[in-house]
Structure formats: structure tokens, C-alpha cells
Amino acid sequence: MNMFKDDPAFKQMEEQAEEQMEKLLKATVQDYEAYMADRDAAAAEMSAVLKQAKDQGLNVKAFKRLIAERKRDREEIMEEQRMLETYRNLLF
């Protein structure tokens, strides 16, 4: 048996909690959808930049690799290049 079942104060608190949850959920969904729209717009702009680069004769694959490398530590890249060169010398 639930002793709070017919308690008006409990029901009011329960309704307030549900209203707060609904507000929180709506706000979170709106924020997330706004970020998704921004992300989609940015992706379209990035694609346009890559298309323009390709049209101007740039190697897009090399361009993307360069951008990815700029995010990494220089020493890590140099070590990876040394290892690749060692492996190439062993295989070719």
C-alpha cells in the first residue's frame, strides 16, 4: 500500500518534477538539434572547400593528411616517418 497515493502535496511535487523534466528534455533536445544543424552546415562548407581545392589542382588526399598531421605532435609524426622509412627499406 502506498501511503502517498492520495496525498495532494505529493501529487503536486510529482507534477512539478515531471514539468521540470519535460523542460529540461525539451531544452536539451533543442540544443542538440542546433549543434547538429551547425555541424551539418560546417560539413557542407568543408566539402565545398575540398571541391574547390580539387578543382584548383590540389591533391585532396594529401591535403586531408596534412590537416590531420597538423593536429598531432611533431615528434610523434617524425617517429612514425622514421618507422615507415625503416619498413620501406626492409620490404622494397
Cα dihedral 25→27→28→30 (10° resolution): 120
* Segments making up each domain of the chain, as ranges: 7-58, 59-92
Confidence tier at 9 by pLDDT (50, 70, 90):
confident
- Among candidates 25, 19, 23, 22, which has minimal Cα distance to 11? 19
Sorted by sequence, the CB contacts under 8 Å of residue 54 that are 6+ apart come out as 60
Q: What is the pLDDT of residue 11?
A: 87
Residue 3 has pLDDT above 90, yes or no: no
When pLDDT is cut at 50, 70 and 90, the band that residue 2 belongs to is low
Residue 6 φ then ψ, to 5°: -105, 15
Tell me the pLDDT tens digit for each residue of 71-88: 999 999 999 999 999 999
Q: Give mean pLDDT, residues 4-30.
A: 91
